[in-house]
Homo-oligomer: A and B are copies of this chain.
Amino acid sequence: MSQQRHGSTPGSGSGNVPAFPDLPEATIARLPEYLRALHNLGEGGADTISSEGLAAAAGVNSAKLRKDLSHLGSYGTRGVGYDVALLIEQIEYVLGLDQRRAVCLVGVGNLGHALAGYDGFASRGFKIVALFDADAAKVGEQIHGLTVRHIDELGQVAVEESIAIGVIATPAGAAQAVADELVAAGVTSILNFAPCVLSVPGNVDVRKVDLAIELQILSFHEHRKATLTALPGGRSATGAGNQEAVGS
């Protein structure tokens, strides 16, 4: 159940290919955000950017950003900042975005339909190459230029297209079975939108996105805020915040 980093003796790599250092998980999760900010800055015509500026664009602390970037080597110039183009290239390499990765999506329901056409995927280097569904009524349907196939074809197509990443957008009840099929087909990374826990072999990475959970967390904060305002001394932090229109 735990996660053990420690690759296979990567540390002593004096050689050519970096052979990843142990990047903290928290850093990895922020790299895509930095990348997005860098692309924005680059399109704005900036050649270099300071850690302060990039941190602001990414919504993080500048010290944190510098430490994150230092983990993947020093690509900044003191007194100047970071070379935008170089940093983009570097982060994209670390994230493995320099090679297009084929993605398949299982479950063409309400959410899956939207994901299939989501611009954000294609614009960031991910291409959905196949759609699957268990419902025979949906098989054959055309969605954003792709034909929905029956899930039984998953194994064959996954090999043909070298699919490494699978997205599950099925109901919770079907998710585990789909995950098993994805694993059997050689998929080693799964993005799960179904509200359930998936059980997979240790070499398969799973990330879960549960939209309802996000709302529930917000609900808690709403509840807390409502409770605090009803109490004495419930001063909220962050002096910058001014309250408006909440009274009634």
Contact = CB atoms under 8 A, between A and B. Distances in A.
Interface residues of A, number: 107
Given A8-B228, A203-B243, A28 B220 contact: yes
Contact of A184 (B99, B101, B211, B245): B245
A225 interface: yes
B197 A57 contact: yes
Given A188-B222, A201-B241, A227 B32 contact: no
Interface in A202-220: 202-220
Contacts of A246: 186, 188, 203, 208-209, 213-214
Nearest to A158: B245
Contacts of A224: 7, 20, 96
A103 interface: yes
A9 B228 CA distance: 9
A244 B115 CA distance: 20
Given A59-B197, A97-B219, A227-B17, A244 B110 contact: no
Contacts of A242: 3, 200-202, 204-206
Contact of A202 (B61, B226, B239): B239
A247 B207 CA distance: 10
Contacts of A232: 8
B240 A202 contact: yes
A203 B114 contact: no
Nearest to A189: B218
Given A35-B216, A121-B211, A165-B222, A1 B61 contact: yes
Nearest to A197: B59
B113 A220 contact: no
Given A10-B231, A197-B57, A217-B32, A25 B203 contact: no
Which 4 residue pairs across A and B have the least CB separation, nearest first?
A96-B223, A202-B238, A202-B241, A114-B114
Interface of A: 1-4, 7-10, 17-20, 25, 28-29, 31-33, 35-37, 57-59, 61, 94-97, 99, 101, 103, 110-111, 113-115, 117-121, 123-124, 126, 164-165, 183-186, 188-191, 195-197, 200-248
5 contacts: A29-B247, A33-B213, A96-B222, A204-B241, A207-B243
